[in-house]
Structure formats: structure tokens, C-alpha cells
Structure 1
């Protein structure tokens, strides 16, 4: 092989490239004037950062320095006025301390910087790990009014020092937080806390600030909160964590578990709902517009374990005669239907009982019934008793459904004969099939309608149990919390869609569903007349008999054990009812004799049946005419 050598052309090329690069660097180097400008810009940036730092420190130490007489009076006063303008007075007379008040239900901490609630503890509740429930803590929330001043400043109240005062009048504690220009000119947040009440009266008002607040600039109220995790399964809790709101004179809506970013109009309250606990801002005078935003913070349950979602709401405020005057309320408390409904402000909509007939059933049937039963028996037993009562009330529906299936089973040989006789004329086969079913008083629809009647009840209960606050931290058998999953074993790894634990109630419910479907699927298949494509249908129904329990097992492993308990008991009772109906109530010989009697009598068709028969006859005539033309 010939050895490659570096020739003279390559050397010349490298030298030229190096020379060009050196020339470009020399040409682009900064001039002395540019170097001086860059150095000056850096110095200005450092001075600006130091100035901001000094001003922030000044806000924090102003009160101490003025109270002790330390420091130069002129320096800090100039810095405060440069930073806050007219509100420097408030900084001088404020402190960095927090203001704490409490009632029998709430312990509230107010930050003197910003004047808003920096901690909210619900005294009667703890989370899944026996830690006190905090809705606000560790800077997870902020409340701010952004406004311009007549001396061309843009201020945020969350950064400004308020002067607190606390007064008590009987069972009412009043906390006044004032951002002062002077003793007679101020912006005030006024909170009224009552014993035995989760609702706080809240007023925003200004006095003497018409020459301070710039009325030509927009004034915005911003409220933000990151929801803490309170339940054993953060992903399950997050499924019921969202923003609810009332708008348009009494309408209500919610964002759902997904992320949201939307504008709404005529808003009277906004609630940041965290499954079993809620933070709500209500107003007497509707906000003309509001912008709300929700973002899911749980991407991986094994990693994201502190917060569920982040919420934000922004509403413009209006001046009245140059002053602010807003009458509002705060609600910090449980998402308990009974508590929320007592306020009469449509707050019960925070409980997701479902829409339409489903919500109606939950509100006026299951909630009163469950409340009554839970008043004198353990809640686990109350679920069992309520399930039994519901199944007994619906047993006539199951009886009708099973009776229809029995009739279709008895007619099956005749229906098969009709299909065989007219196997080359499907229209004729369908006409005779309908005629026979009408005379015998049997119809596939008669079996479907009872099943449809049960669907609203089924879905209503699916919505009811995850939303029932009374189930929270109530134990039953091996389940220590009926509002969360029951654990009989932990798995050292995570199974997709299943989790890292084994829940027993979903296993029992899946077994019960399997045997229930085995009974009903067998009955349905024996009642179906033989026709083309039927083997495939039989296979599909057989697969469903196995697939549905497996789906139940995976889907409900992280759901509330109270819901799985309901499905387990419900399917057990359904199996019992079917066995009783089949073995002790229905007499197939008697049904067969009754069908034969009905076949002898002329059956009067209703308008729908007449119309269907006419349409089928017309279709048959058209088909015969086409065949003759051929």
C-alpha cells in the first residue's frame, strides 16, 4: 500500500485558512469605545441588582430600624419612597410578623407582607398519613391586586407591607389588613371569621386613594394555588381535582381532570376543588370577565407526590368613584354536599354527582338514603344495606328481562324454522319473525328495555361513591378507608394500569361479575335464534365474559373501595335474584302454554308495529318487482 504524505498544496491550504480566520478575528474585535460601553453596561446591571436587593432588604428591616432609631433616617426613607411611593408610610409602620387567628374549624395565618392568607388549616381533618390538612401553606398560594399609581408606578399588593389589627366581637373575629398612605388613606382587606363556619366574609375597599390609584389603567385581581395531595393515591385524587365556577346568573360548569385555559363571563364564584376539600372565592357583584387556568402536576405518581394541580384565576376590578369596593367571601372547607348545600349559593355543584337524571337520582334519592342509613350504622354496612334496597327495587326489572329471555328461548325452534324456510328471502323471514313475536308477546326489545332502565341507576352510583365525603377515612373489614383503595399486599414494582398494590374488593367484584355474566350470557345465547354470523357473535360474548372481569380488576384497583364493595354486593344479589327467578318463579311449561294461547288470539298491532309492517311489505314488493324485470 502506498503511504499517504502531506503534500505542499495541503500545507498552503491550511496556512491560508488560518490566515483568513486570524484576519476575521482581528477585524471583529471591539473598539475601545465598544469596550467602554460594554463595561459601563455591566456596571449598571450590577448597580441595578444591588439597588433592588437593598430595596427588598429595606422593606424587611424598615420597621425595626425606625423603631430602634438605628440607621440613617434619610437613606431608608428615600429608598422606601423610591420603591413604594405613597405607600412608604405602610412599610415604616408594618412588621414582618404573621397574624394568626382561629375558630373551632379553622386556623388561619395572615402574612403581613401582602395581607393575604399564607396558611389555612382545617382543624377537624387529617390526610391519609395522619398529617393535618392544610389548603394553604409553604407559599403554595398567592392573592394579589395589580394596579398603577398616579406617579407612574406599577404595584403588586402581594409584595407590599400591610398593617394588621385583630378585634373580637363574641363569636366573630375580624382581621383588618391595611396598606396605608396615612392613617386616613389606605387599601384594606377585611376578613370576618365566625365560629362553626367555613365561610369567611371578605371585603376589599380603599379610602382616600382616588388621587393615588390610576383609574385609567386596568386593575387585576390574581389568585393562584397549588393543590396539596391529601389522599393515598395521588392519581385517583387528581381525577376529581379541577376548577368549578358559577357564571351567567346561576349556571355552573367545571374544567374536568384535563388541563384548562379559558375565559368566562359574569362569574359569581370560582372554586379550586381538591377532591374532598375546596378553596372558593365568591363575590356579591359578578366579575364581568375572568380567566382561569389549570395544569396537571402529576406526570408520574411515583415521583410527583406533593401537588396535584396548579390553579390560577385572574379577574379585573372596577373603581367606584375612584375607590375600590368589593364584597366577597372565602370558603375553605370540605367538599361535603351537606355543608355546601347549607350555604344556598349553588356550592353543592362542587360535588360531581353527574348531570341530568344521574345528578337528580344522587341528590334526591341516594344522598338522603345513604345519609339516613349512615346515621345509625357503620358506613360499610350502610353501603351493603343500600345496595340490597336498590336491587330489591330493581328486581321487577330483572324479572321482566329474564321473562323476555325465557319467552325468546321457548320460541327459538319456531324462529329457527322460519329462518330456514326463508333462508333465501331475509325480508320475508323478518316479517314472519316479527309477526310470531307479536302474537306470542315476546320481543328482543322487551329484554333490552329493562336493562336500559337500570343504566341511570348504575351510572349514578358510579358517580355517587367516589364523591361521598362521608366515606372518607371510614373503615370496613380490611379496608381502612372506604374513599380510597384497600390494600392486602404490596408489589415491589409498578404494573401499568394496575399499580404497585393488590386490592381485595376489586378481586371479589371481578369474580362476582364473571359468574353473573356466565349466567346471563348463557341465557341470552340460548334465547337467540340461529342465523348467519351467530358463531362469531357467540365467540364475542364468550370473550366479553372473561374480558369484563379482567377490565374491572385493573380499572378499580386504584378506585375507592366503597365503590368496589358496592359492585361486589350488587352482583352477588343479582346472581341470587336470577337463580330464584329461574328456579322458583318462572315456569317454562306455563310460559309455553301462555304463548300458544296468545298465538291463537288475533293480536292488535300498535301504530309503530303497523308502520314497520307496512314498510317491510313495501320493501318486499319492490324486491319482487326488481326480480321480475330481470
Structure 2
């Protein structure tokens, strides 16, 4: 009866863990990218690219909208698109080196789209002011060239017919940074006052979830401090948004892997902020102070615009070379920023050395386990000592089972006499927590692992393992729900964890014994939806730990020997 009660209690506790994790993980610890492959007839094939939602009646096909206006092409090694000469907008941009899916015929990732097309997302530049005719969203600019490319700037010109000339000089580097110089020349008879601005406008929320561990949506750095506290729902509830007066910094919109950011002159003070509008329209904008331009003079304001992938080394490089305050914080590293970036750079270096991200993860696991080996030796020595004193502990528990305070005193005295520390075995586990969390963040947030293959059926380490026995490894044309679609690697995780627990000294408490026997299979379900790269790390860590335990058991035979009988 007692064993049945313990078993029932262990099952209930495990069920609570599993259900509670399911409810909380999407909010606090998002799992992986959506599956990018599936197994059909035993072969791994890419999933088709998701179709866009049906457009509203007022939304037109993107190609039609782009063809309606005069444009300047954008051609760089990593970007392709065009500048809309009507309104001076960069509103057509794809990332040439990144694909939507792992399929060979997949389209490149689209970042910007013109207004009036699905998922409108663009940047624009202009001026506000009183008593002067200014260019607006319907102004058609004249371009000095037909292609914007690295080393080939383009100047947009417009004159208001009253003596003022407006210029927007556009430059782009080989990666994702645009430099925009807005110039007003006053050829009139009197002084004018103008205020230059730049904006990023987008329609709709990010397709990536905004969670406790990964911020998506409005983002920026103001006066040296990164701000992750504003999201799309805040702007829905309060369209007035938030305004900041900042010297240096940047602002824009961030998705999981992509970023648009307006970067003012880092020495100037600007007004910046976010606004909301109807039908999920959002805007990030910056405006410089009003400038008085005397007759015969001209004033230039320089702004940079980043539009591309959040590559760690690239963001760090821009931050250093251009002096942009905390541009690297476009990636929501979180509390362990100081620890996660070294983990990333080590993993990225290993990847560049071996050319396979999965192998790099395994090598990282070996390095971590190697660094922790001295601690593991102390852990096993402590476990051996604890096993020797277990009979004495059990005798004390029997003797003082009705006097908890006295039992604690006698147990503490026993630890001191035998020179053992019951918490020593917890140290490796505690050290593993920040390492595992740091790796989780690195594998979840950094684009460097996106669509990276490993071997055999694993074609994307940032997505869940697609090979599951529930449909006979793809031989049955059925896609089980993600919660139960346990892949081969999560199953291997459960098996290795179970074997690892079996190697540990058995717990004295029957309930703990039951919980430890069930937990590996609980974690098998929990980890099924996580990035394959993270599960691979855990599996490799378990296998190394098992090998390490085997070797250390040979050094500490007391752990394998039968526990001595309790003193009478």
C-alpha cells in the first residue's frame, strides 16, 4: 500500500511538472523555430513556404504596387530591392543571403514592403516646418542615378519653386547599413526654420513571439540604456506611445532575427519615440531640433539606417567602428549577457573551424564537461562519503522521527564528525544551470544557427527533431501534434538521462526514487519541442557524464559497494 501511494504521488507530481511547463514555457521559455522539415516515406523533405494571409480589399499585390512608382534599384552583396522616388522611401528590400525555408527554391527573406501591399514596412525621410513649402509623401524626387550600390551613392533632389532645394544623399555599405544625409539649401530671401525627421513604419505584429526571454517589437537604446519594455500591445492600448529625449542611441523594430533601426548622430540630442495607429500600424521616429537656415546657407543632417539580420559580429563591429551606443543590445541577451556572448563566440569559432554546427555543439559540450571535471571529482568523493554515512543517517531518522528539531541537530553533528557536505553534490548542477540557460539563449536568438544542418535527418538545428516513431518515421502520412511528436534525439535524451540517474546512488526516500525514475521521460516530452541543437547538447552532455561516472566509480568503489548495515 505504501509503495502504491508513493507511486501515485510521484505520478501526480510529474504530471504537474509536465502540464505546468506546457502552460508556462510559451510565455517564459519559447521552444524552437517552427518545424522546417518533415519526414515522408522515410525521407526528410522541406516544409512548403507558408502562404500569406488573404489580402484585404484595399491591399494590392506587392509587385503591382512596386511597379506603380518610379524607383532606384538597390544592389549589394546582401541586399536587393528598390527606393521609391515617390515620398523618398526605402520600401522594397529582401535579404539575398537568407532564405525563408531550407528548400532549394525558397525565396529570400523579405524585410521591407511598400505601403498598400501586404505586410507594409518601410522607412522614410523628410522635414517639418512652418512658413516653407516642404516635400511630402506624394512628392516625386529626381534621382542622380538608377542604382544604389556600395561605392555608388545616389542623390535625390527636389525644389519647391520658392528658392529652397532639398537633397537626400543615400549610401549603402556591403552589409546592411544605409547612410542618409538630408540637406536643405535656402536660396530664398529670408531665413527659414525646418526640423529633419526619419521614420520606420510597419503594419502588423511580429510573427515571432514576444516573451520573457525574447523581446520582439519596438526596441531601442536611449541615453545609454536599452529599452525592451514597450511592445505592440502597449501601442495598441495607447497610440500616443512613448517619447524620449536622447543623446546617442537608436530605435526601430526587432524580430527574432531581423532588425530595422534609425541611428541619429550619436553626439546630437534628438526627440525619439514610438506611436501606434489604426489597423495595427506602428511607427518609430526621430526628429532633430528645429534649425534656422539663413538665406544663402544650407544645413545637412546625417542619419544611419540599419535593415538586415542581427548577426552578432556585425552588430558588434558597427558599434565599435561607428560608435553606435549598444547596438549589440538589439539581441535580447538578458541577465547573463556577460556570459552568453563568450559562449556564442566560442561556439561560432568552433563552427568556423569544423564547418558543422552540430559538431561544434558537441565540441562545446566536451569543453564544458572538461572544465567541470575537477568539480565532478569532488562531487563523487562527496557522494561516496555520503553513502558511507547513510546507515547512520537512517538510524538517526528512526531514533528521532518524532523530534524534528533534535533530528536536525544530530544530523548536523553527524556531518561535522564525518566531514561530509550534503550540498557538495549540488554544485555541478548549479553550475550547469547558467551554462545551459546561456546556450539556450544563444541557440534561440542568434541567427548563426538558423537553418544549419547537422547530419542524417537533422537539416535544421534551430527547429525540433522531425523524425518521430509515432508515424513510423514518416512512413505513415500523418503529422502528430507537436506536443507528442517526440523525435529521435528527445528519446535519446530520455534514455541517457534515465541511465545516468540509474548510475547515481539510490535515494533513500521512496517518493524521490519514483520521481527520479519518471523525470527522464517527463523531460523527453518537455524537450521535444525545443531546438534540436539544444537537445543535442544535452544528449552529448549526458553521454559524457555517463562515461565520466563510469571512470569515477572505478576511483570511488564505495559508491558501488553495498551500503554498510545501520548500527544497532
State the TM-score, normalized to the length of structure 1. Answer: 0.64
> What is the distance in 1 between the residues matched to 2:150 and 2:360?
36
**SS of residue matched to 1:159:** coil
- Is the Cα contact below 8 Å between 1:264 and 1:291 reproduced in 2? yes
* Residues 512 and 579 (structure 1), Cα distance of their counterparts in 2 relative to 1, 3 Å cut: same
- Is the Cα contact below 8 Å between 2:148 and 2:172 reproduced in 1? no
* Residues 123 and 221 (structure 1), Cα distance of their counterparts in 2 relative to 1, 3 Å cut: closer
> What is the distance in 1 between the residues matched to 2:477 and 2:229?
35
> What is the distance in 2 between the residues matched to 1:539 and 1:472?
39
Counterpart for residue 498 of structure 1 = 483
Residues 203-352 of structure 1 mapped to structure 2, 5 A cutoff: 203-208=181-186, 221-226=198-203, 241-248=216-223, 250-255=224-229, 259-261=233-235, 263=242, 265=244, 266=246, 268-285=249-266, 288-292=270-274, 312-322=283-293, 325-343=300-318, 344=320, 345=324, 346-352=326-332
Kindly tell me the number of residue pairs found equivalent between the two proteins.
463
Residues 418-429 of structure 1 mapped to structure 2, 5 A cutoff: 418-429=396-407
1:190 equivalent in alignment to 2:169: yes
- Is the Cα contact below 8 Å between 1:227 and 1:274 reproduced in 2? no
- Is the Cα contact below 8 Å between 2:148 and 2:171 reproduced in 1? no
**SS of residue matched to 1:547:** helix
CA apart distance, 1:588: 1.1
- Is the Cα contact below 8 Å between 2:191 and 2:292 reproduced in 1? no
1:391 equivalent in alignment to 2:369: yes
Counterpart for residue 143 of structure 1 = 123
**SS of residue matched to 1:312:** strand
Counterpart for residue 444 of structure 1 = 422
CA apart distance, 1:149: 5.6
Counterpart for residue 37 of structure 1 = none
1:118 equivalent in alignment to 2:98: no
CA apart distance, 1:326: 2.8
CA apart distance, 1:545: 4.3
CA deviations on 1:485-504 (whole Å, 9 max, x unpaired) are: 342357977766638x6643
Counterpart for residue 104 of structure 1 = 77
Q: Which has the larger radius of gyration?
A: 1
* Residues 589 and 120 (structure 1), Cα distance of their counterparts in 2 relative to 1, 3 Å cut: closer
> What is the distance in 2 between the residues matched to 1:351 and 1:382?
22
Residues 163-182 of structure 1 mapped to structure 2, 5 A cutoff: 163-166=142-145, 172-182=151-161
- Is the Cα contact below 8 Å between 2:254 and 2:330 reproduced in 1? yes
CA deviations on 1:271-314 (whole Å, 9 max, x unpaired) are: 4223223222211145544333699x9xxxxxxxxxxx975313
Residues 401-550 of structure 1 mapped to structure 2, 5 A cutoff: 401-477=379-455, 478-488=457-467, 498=483, 503-520=487-504, 523=505, 525-526=507-508, 534-550=509-525
* Residues 134 and 184 (structure 1), Cα distance of their counterparts in 2 relative to 1, 3 Å cut: farther
CA apart distance, 1:214: 8.5
- Is the Cα contact below 8 Å between 1:142 and 1:158 reproduced in 2? no
> What is the distance in 2 between the residues matched to 1:381 and 1:152?
63
State the TM-score, normalized to the length of structure 2. Answer: 0.70
**SS of residue matched to 1:525:** coil
For residue 139 of structure 2, the aligned residue among 147, 157, 160 is 160
> What is the distance in 1 between the residues matched to 2:345 and 2:111?
26
Q: Which blocks of at least 5 consecutive residues in structure 1 are unaligned?
A: 1-94, 298-308, 527-533, 594-630
For residue 359 of structure 2, the aligned residue among 381, 388, 391 is 381
> What is the distance in 1 between the residues matched to 2:499 and 2:232?
36
* Residues 465 and 199 (structure 1), Cα distance of their counterparts in 2 relative to 1, 3 Å cut: same
CA deviations on 1:91-111 (whole Å, 9 max, x unpaired) are: xxxx94111132333224111
> What is the distance in 2 between the residues matched to 1:515 and 1:96?
66
- Is the Cα contact below 8 Å between 1:407 and 1:591 reproduced in 2? no
- Is the Cα contact below 8 Å between 1:201 and 1:328 reproduced in 2? yes
**SS of residue matched to 2:398:** helix
CA apart distance, 1:339: 1.5
CA apart distance, 1:416: 1.9
CA apart distance, 1:136: 1.1
- Is the Cα contact below 8 Å between 1:179 and 1:188 reproduced in 2? yes
Counterpart for residue 564 of structure 1 = 535
CA apart distance, 1:387: 1.3
> What is the distance in 2 between the residues matched to 1:246 and 1:509?
40
Counterpart for residue 626 of structure 1 = none
**SS of residue matched to 1:100:** strand
Residues 61-80 of structure 1 mapped to structure 2, 5 A cutoff: none
* Residues 116 and 482 (structure 1), Cα distance of their counterparts in 2 relative to 1, 3 Å cut: same
> What is the distance in 2 between the residues matched to 1:146 and 1:177?
12
> What is the distance in 1 between the residues matched to 2:158 and 2:479?
52
> What is the distance in 1 between the residues matched to 2:348 and 2:74?
36
- Cα RMSD between the aligned structures? 4.0
